[in-house]
Chain A
Amino acid sequence: MNQIEFNDQGLSWPADKSLAELVAEQQSNTQGIAVVVNGEIVPQSAWNERCLSDGDKVKVFRAIAGG
């Protein structure tokens, strides 16, 4: 298990599970979100292949439309 951060909260996460699985597990609604790992956006098309290393910091931003 790797120790990672998801939205500033510590989390144990298996090394062989993908970012897509993390997002699906942690976010009840995955519509309109941008996922940032260590300060860099990971495009949604790459979530499946992306695994997480010890110390990775994952942050989710949701689109807002108001104006």
Chain B
Amino acid sequence: MSLSDQESLRYSRHLLLKQIGEQGQLKLKDAHVLVIGMGGLGVPAATYLVGAGVGHLVLADFDEIDSSNLQRQVLYREQDIGQSKVLTAKSQLEALNSLIQIRAVNRRMGEMLLGMEVAQADVVLDCSDNLATRYAVNQVCVKAGKPLVSGAAVAFSGQLMVFPFDRPEQACYHCLFPNAQEQQLNCANAGILGPVVGTIGSLQALEAIKLICGMDSAAQGRFSSFDAQHLEWMHIKMQQDPSCPVCGQAHSAP
């Protein structure tokens, strides 16, 4: 398999990068990525993945575009208010790159559908806005052994977690936050600034590209916390909890 002339021109700036090159571009073309949530994280993440030539992208959300989304979800236009996020995003992103396949899942995913979508993906991006989804996505990705790039943002804070579940003995989201409850703070009650969530969403795309191209990244297996007000990062290596009911020994014991 090799790139067409059209693809070589289009992705020429990737081909200049020795870490990507033609082999990496072919891996991107062959990759299946599932993006869960097409809000402030999913919009930049999906846009960069489409730009980068990820061959198969699935966008999942059940929400409609609200005028209060437009300050940060920059793929959507005023005329799109009231329309489905994933259908609008699909149409916008197809206009950006017609060489790839985009599928929209315009419904709330139950455990079975989520399991089927994760099974087809090479990398999963959690761009959701609630803890129930985060725990469900984590559990399915652990079970399926699929790498998960999880992002979150509220107000001036961001979090990025890269879980390479295709490798053994990885900490999972449940190890990190075992008893988080539906919450606390979200964008609707605590506010959010566009570039803060945009930064985290862009990093999710970056880490997904690295995973697909087989590049090492210090972010893998790490929890990163972003303080956008003081422009400070804290990076912490995650530890698998042996007693974690999702990924630990208790889970794998017969």
Contact = CB atoms under 8 A, between A and B. Distances in A.
Interface in B119-137: 126-131, 134
Contacts of B240: 43
Interface stretch (B100-108, B153-161, B208-216): B153-161
B153 A67 contact: yes
Nearest to B178: A44
A63 B239 contact: no
Given A61-B225, A66-B197, A67-B187, A45 B243 contact: yes
A66 B127 CA distance: 9
Interface residues of A, number: 22
Nearest to A46: B241
A11 interface: no
Contacts of A39: 236-237
B236 A41 contact: yes
B26 to A, nearest CB: 31
Give the size range of B's interface with the partner: 35 or more
B39 interface: yes
Given A43-B241, A45-B241, A67 B151 contact: yes
A39 B234 CA distance: 9
Contacts of A61: 159, 223, 225, 234, 236
Nearest to B244: A43
A65 B239 contact: no
B55 interface: no
A65 B131 CA distance: 6
A31 B249 CA distance: 23
Given A33-B177, A34-B223, A67-B41, A45 B242 contact: yes
B57 interface: no
A61 B226 CA distance: 11
Interface of B: 37, 39-42, 126-131, 134, 151-154, 157-159, 171, 175-187, 190, 192, 197, 201, 223, 225, 234, 236-244
8 contacts: A31-B181, A40-B239, A43-B244, A44-B179, A46-B241, A61-B225, A63-B180, A67-B127
Given A64-B152, A66-B186, 6 more contacts: A30-B179, A32-B180, A45-B241, A65-B130, A65-B134, A66-B187
Interface of A: 30-34, 36, 39-46, 59, 61-67
